[in-house]
Structure 1
Amino acid sequence: MKIIVTGVSKKIKKQHVLNNITLEFRNGVFYGLYGRNGSGKTMLLRSVAGLLRPSAGKVEIDGKDIYSENKFPPSIGVIIENTSLLPQYDAFTNLKLLSKIKKIATDEDIKSAIRRVGLNPDNKLKVRKFSLGMKQRLSIAQAIFEKPDILLLDEPTNAIDENGVQEVYRIIQEEKERGATIILTSHHKQDLDILADEFIHMDHGEVIHE
């Protein structure tokens, strides 16, 4: 899916968190979005995901303005800040409940995604007892289990150990090969050098290098 961001600005409490952002994200390309805390990376992802209505400008996905139609993008997987997980349920049940919204993922799709991130889909341990790393892994499974056309990943390796980081990179590479458009944020460009096709540097709510 092609994403076109045109003149997007967002002001919160009289401060521009996004300032006249214009970008184009092409099908099947991995974009590395980097910059320090507060640079606007997460706000941009939230705008593309349909979670943050811009003060000005528009976001089009396959030619449709997602805000004029008040619709979430139809095929999107998201990890942005604290992904909502239901603490009273196990990993499989969390994704099973989520799958009822679109009704496109089978039980095997769910189990496969959980295995891919290094968790056991048959483990009945409740999410409230998960470590931070396990929760982050489940968030990644939640983003990929419906095989979305777009993946928006905000610091997906947070709280994951070094071996786990390599697993996450492998999964992202597989999703790229599947044809997904991927936008992944990091504080540091060097964290993205392994996989990203193109790089976007943000600071103070603006794109300063593309």
Structure 2
Amino acid sequence: MIEIRNVSLRLDGKSILNNISLTLEPGKIYGLVGSNGSGKTMLMKCICGFVHPTEGEIKTDGRRVGKDVDYLPNAGIIIETPGFIPYYSGLQNLRLLAGIRRKVTDDQIRKALKITGLDPDSRLWVRKYSLGMRQRLGIAQAIMEQPDILILDEPMNGLDKHGVADIRELLMELKKQGKLILLASHNPADIELLCDEVYEMELGNIRNFS
């Protein structure tokens, strides 16, 4: 569970988030909608612990993000364009990332690539990937450690219709497994088909749109 309590954020004298309170529970997909600059990405960064709110607090299982824990634990995250080493293959990139925490086996990495529609045996450098392939690799990176929480900012970016269908199916399966998923998307169909609850953001304010 993630509890967001009275979170506000000001940067350079500008109000970015205004007194936001939400409770996010396992086994649900939550949608965030709103125009560019509405605060969606910054809220996600605060939840993950990448940015610390000016006021309020964010807790997961009773622990305060940024205080009791530095970052949101047990979370797979896509915020903005995932960065990979261009002259490594997809498998090599994920192996390198997995080596940081040593939580997953090579078989689990290969499975994550297959689930997202990539060939783990491909030697193609990431620099030669299409935008859609890079996005699939980002999703594979987010799920490879089998996290309980997924924070996904525009995960369908660059995917063709078949890729979108594949990732929607994957997210629904992860929801059935009890994952907590927070999804931001500009595609109304993603929100309508996937989300149990929808929140709209505008100028740093949030309201339930379900």
| TM-score normalised per structure 2 | 0.95
* In structure 2, distance between residues paired with 1:86 and 1:51: 22
Q: Deviations over 1:53-110 (max 9, x none)?
A: 1111111010000111352222000010021212121101111111112212111110
Aligned to 1:184: 183
Cα offset for 1:40? Answer: 0.8
Asked whether 1:109 is paired with 2:112, we answer no
* In structure 2, distance between residues paired with 1:5 and 1:149: 17
Bigger mean CA deviation after superposition, 105-114 or 68-77: 68-77
* In structure 2, distance between residues paired with 1:142 and 1:185: 18
* In structure 1, distance between residues paired with 2:206 and 2:150: 20
Q: Deviations over 1:149-202 (max 9, x none)?
A: 000010100111111100010111111111110000012544311121111111
Aligned to 2:53: 54
Note if contact 2:63-2:69 (Cα within 8 Å) is conserved in structure 1. no
Which amino acid letter does the alignment assign opposite residue 24 of structure 2? F
Note if contact 1:19-1:206 (Cα within 8 Å) is conserved in structure 2. yes
Aligned to 2:36: 37
Structure 2: tracts of 5 or more residues without a match:
none
| TM-score normalised per structure 1 | 0.95
- Alignment of structure 1 residues 133-152 onto 2, 5 Å: 133-152=132-151
* In structure 2, distance between residues paired with 1:71 and 1:12: 20
* In structure 2, distance between residues paired with 1:35 and 1:117: 27
- Alignment of structure 1 residues 44-83 onto 2, 5 Å: 44-83=43-82
Note if contact 1:35-1:188 (Cα within 8 Å) is conserved in structure 2. no
What is the SS of the residue equivalent to 1:151?
strand
* In structure 2, distance between residues paired with 1:209 and 1:123: 44
- The number of aligned residues is 209
What is the SS of the residue equivalent to 1:182?
strand
RMSD: 1.2
* In structure 1, distance between residues paired with 2:69 and 2:28: 26
- Alignment of structure 1 residues 127-206 onto 2, 5 Å: 127-206=126-205
Note if contact 1:200-1:207 (Cα within 8 Å) is conserved in structure 2. yes
